[in-house]
Amino acid sequence: MTRRAVAIGVGHYLPDRIVPNAEFEKTLDTTDEWITSRSGIERRHFAAPGQTTSDLAARAAMAALKMAGLTGNDVDAIILATSTADLTFPSAATMVQHAIANTKGYAFDIQAVCAGFTFALSNANALIVSGQANRVMVIGAETFSRILDWTDRGTCVLFGDGAGAVLLEAQDGNGTTDDRGILSTDLNSDGAYRDLLYVDGGISKQTTGVLRMEGQEVFRHAVEKLAETAHTALDKVGLTADDVDWVVPHQANIRIIKSTARKLGVGMDRVIVTVQDHGNTSAASIPLAISVGVQNGQIKKGDLLVTEAIGGGLAWGAVVIRW
């Protein structure tokens, strides 16, 4: 028997305020047409003043618990992928722990920027497979609206706020790729590219800072690395892109999503796309897309999913999971 980390619940939360592209036309030299055609983004959600990343994360976690028919104390560990934690410390995950009334487990944040959810899933899988946890709440949540330069039209129109959560549970499988659960993971980073996408402030600089990005360069790396990491993750368990029911990509740019699908040889009818409604929500984008895909009836129990993401670091990765 093989211990597997199987998804038993999923949920998401988006703040109420929806900002269409046209809003940016009032303050920036930009157009709805440019944003839509270059990125695929039509609108995004922004958190209300005072609404924090852990507020969004807790709501997504509650939704995942509800789907699983469980309560906070049924969870052994909470891993929150975020680059926009409420405070310098403690972790936003501990705030979620308190909000969902978990008094028995342990909670911590993971920071791998837009690739954060793939890193969090991989770490949650390791905790479950090694027997250190039976149920892990894996969350991606961000309030990127707090770290945008509203005068930089090349970045501020691209990002949004939101949260998604997947609840994993240890279950016995037979050790084949027919098992439900996480089947393989592939994680990478290369700090040589740290200047392509970063925030120009931080704790030890004593400022919050704002996001800076060499968009074209990040685009080039994304197109090169995303299909590669998805192929590697599939390869590790002897699967190919033909076996995949759904690609669930990081939602940064529809042109990157289409190009990666093309490289994988997967038609767009097998790709979950939410970028038009959410914008780039960094670590939240994959669990948001999974949750929307499940809610829409696209992703069904037993489907083979491959998720892939890249972001600041650069850090990138992929996870193969049978839903």
Residues making contact with ligand UT7 (CB under 6 A): 30, 34-35, 38-39, 114, 153-154, 157, 215-216, 218-219, 222, 252-253, 256, 280, 310-311
CB 265 within 8 A of CB 258: no
Minimum CB distance to ligand UT7, residue 216 (Å)? 4
Minimum CB distance to ligand UT7, residue 70 (Å)? 32
DSSP code of 202? Answer: B
Q: For residue 98, indicate whether it is catalytic.
A: no
* Residue placing its CB nearer to ligand UT7 in the complex, 34 or 106: 34
**Which residue of the set 12, 221, 250, 278 is catalytic?**
250
- Using CA atoms of 171, 172, 175, 180 in order, give the dihedral in degrees to the nearest 10: -40
Q: For residue 280, indicate whether it is catalytic.
A: yes
Minimum CB distance to ligand UT7, residue 101 (Å)? 33
Q: Give, in order, the Cα–Cα distances in Å from 321 to each of 4, 93, 131, 163, 277.
A: 10, 23, 19, 20, 25
User: Tokens 């400022």, residue?
Assistant: 207
**Which residue of the set 102, 125, 253, 280 is catalytic?**
280
Minimum CB distance to ligand UT7, residue 152 (Å)? 8
Backbone angles phi, psi at 3, to 5 degrees: -75, 125
For the chain, give the number of residues.
323
* Residue placing its CB nearer to ligand UT7 in the complex, 171 or 259: 259
Half-sphere exposure of 85 (CA within 13 A, CB side): 21
User: Tokens 């597997």, residue?
Assistant: 4
In this structure, what token pair is assigned to residue 143? 């309030």
CB 306 within 8 A of CB 230: yes
User: Tokens 């549970």, residue?
Assistant: 169
CA distance 149 to 155: 8
In this structure, what token pair is assigned to residue 56? 């969004």
* Residue placing its CB nearer to ligand UT7 in the complex, 57 or 256: 256
Helix (H) or strand (E) run with residue 129 in it = helix 116-129
* Residue placing its CB nearer to ligand UT7 in the complex, 106 or 198: 198
CA distance 266 to 272: 12
**Which residue of the set 21, 45, 102, 114 is catalytic?**
114
In this structure, what token pair is assigned to residue 288? 């948001």
Residue nearest to ligand UT7 (CB): 215
* Residue placing its CB nearer to ligand UT7 in the complex, 98 or 255: 255
Minimum CB distance to ligand UT7, residue 284 (Å)? 11
- CA terminus-to-terminus distance, the chain: 19
* Residue placing its CB nearer to ligand UT7 in the complex, 61 or 157: 157
Minimum CB distance to ligand UT7, residue 157 (Å)? 5
Active site residues: 114, 250, 280
